[in-house]
């Protein structure tokens, strides 16, 4: 898939039937994000009694659904925006996968993917030498290398997994497994930080939390544990799409897309909050330490890069934008 194809995959993120709602979302986004308890807005299909309907709706993402009588009139989500129906979707408090989440899940998880493995496989533990641990998303190589001979090969994951949320230098050691899982330098160094997309905490839009580490070719596989090889470079998410992933903490999980084209505020700890635009929202399919997992549809087409979530929802960067931002490819 060339650059043009990837751009097309990204531009088709909002299906035609949801485009009018997406326009209304854009005009009302700032006002809705200013409401108390609202952590994001997106577009999707209205959910009634736990079932997805066919009604296009502006999805207002809240940390917790509250009884109407407990919400002040100034913070009440309107029933319609520009004549388009709204739907309130509880997504919890959104965090990038960090040490606190990892500590909370450590005691109850089997941790089958937290071990050392060579060659390393997507789904297993990895991390910058100063973090806890995240997940290898995919094996990758330079976007400009096809057709041709790639000069370098990479592990793809999140900025906060491989670049310590911007607090890293190119060339820093990357450990497999991550430090929280017993990885130490130099024994478990699998590669070096090659590049990352800086995360901005100034209220402007971020689109990806992504980074790559350069690794020797023989030390990284592209076969995702329990999922297999990516079948293509990228596929746009659609509301209702079934997804799957393998990750360091919750192993193999499945989920469903509940909203696309979402703007969300994500907590990175230490009082730092980053605004992410054009994101994919799914049902809960992750926990702390799963950050960096590549998320596929049931036909093994890459859809997103998992980077944040809560106990009730998971947030993905569109995988086409990830590859374009880092100038790498995960397929063919």
pLDDT of residue 3: 54
DSSP structure string for 102-129: HHHHHTT---TTSS--SSB-TTSEEEET
Between strands 251-267 and 38-48, the pairing is: antiparallel
Please name the residue that has the structure tokens 């751009």: 7
For residue 18, the 8-state DSSP code is: G
Over its length of 332 residues, how does the chain's per-residue pLDDT go in tens digits? 455 555 455 545 677 888 889 888 888 899 999 998 899 999 999 998 888 999 999 999 999 887 776 677 777 898 899 999 999 999 999 999 754 455 444 444 445 799 999 999 999 999 999 999 999 999 999 998 888 999 999 999 999 999 999 999 999 999 999 999 999 999 999 999 999 999 999 999 999 999 999 999 999 999 999 999 999 999 999 999 999 999 999 999 999 999 999 999 999 999 999 999 999 999 999 999 999 999 999 999 999 999 999 999 999 999 999 999 999 999 98
Beta bridge partners of 120: 220
| Contacts of residue 308, Cβ cutoff 8 Å, sequence gap at least 6 | 94, 95, 96, 97, 209, 264, 266, 276, 291, 314, 315
């Amino acid at each position: 898939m060339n650059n043009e194809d990837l751009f097309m995959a990204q531009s088709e993120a909002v299906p035609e039937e949801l485009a009018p709602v997406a326009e209304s979302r854009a005009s009302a986004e700032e006002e809705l994000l200013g409401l108390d308890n609202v952590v994001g807005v997106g577009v999707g299909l209205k959910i009634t009694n736990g079932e997805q309907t066919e009604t296009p709706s502006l999805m207002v993402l809240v940390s917790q659904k509250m009884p109407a009588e407990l919400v002040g009139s100034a913070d009440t989500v309107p029933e319609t925006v520009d004549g388009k129906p709204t739907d309130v979707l509880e997504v919890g408090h959104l965090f990038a996968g960090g040490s606190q989440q990892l500590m909370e899940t450590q005691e109850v998880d089997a941790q089958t993917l937290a071990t050392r493995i060579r060659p390393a496989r997507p789904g297993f533990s990895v991390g910058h030498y100063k973090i806890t641990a995240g997940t290898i998303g995919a094996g990758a190589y330079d976007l400009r290398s096809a057709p041709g001979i790639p000069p370098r090969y990479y592990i793809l994951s999140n900025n906060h997994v491989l670049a310590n949320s911007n607090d890293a230098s190119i060339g820093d050691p990357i450990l497999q497994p991550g430090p929280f899982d017993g990885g130490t330098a130099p024994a478990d160094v699998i590669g070096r930080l090659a590049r990352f997309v800086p995360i901005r905490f100034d209220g402007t839009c971020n689109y990806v939390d992504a980074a790559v580490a350069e690794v020797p070719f023989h030390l990284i596989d592209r076969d995702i544990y329990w999922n297999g090889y990516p079948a293509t470079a990228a596929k746009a998410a659609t509301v209702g799409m079934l997804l799957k992933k393998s990750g360091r903490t919750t192993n193999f999980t499945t989920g469903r897309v509940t909203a696309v084209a979402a703007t969300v505020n994500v907590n990175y700890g230490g009082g730092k909050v980053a605004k992410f635009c054009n994101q994919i929202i799914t049902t809960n399919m992750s926990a702390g330490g799963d950050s960096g997992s590549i998320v596929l549809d049931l036909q093994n087409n890459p859809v997103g890069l998992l980077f944040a979530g809560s106990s009730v929802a998971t947030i993905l960067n569109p995988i086409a934008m990830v590859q374009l931002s880092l100038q790498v490819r995960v397929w063919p």
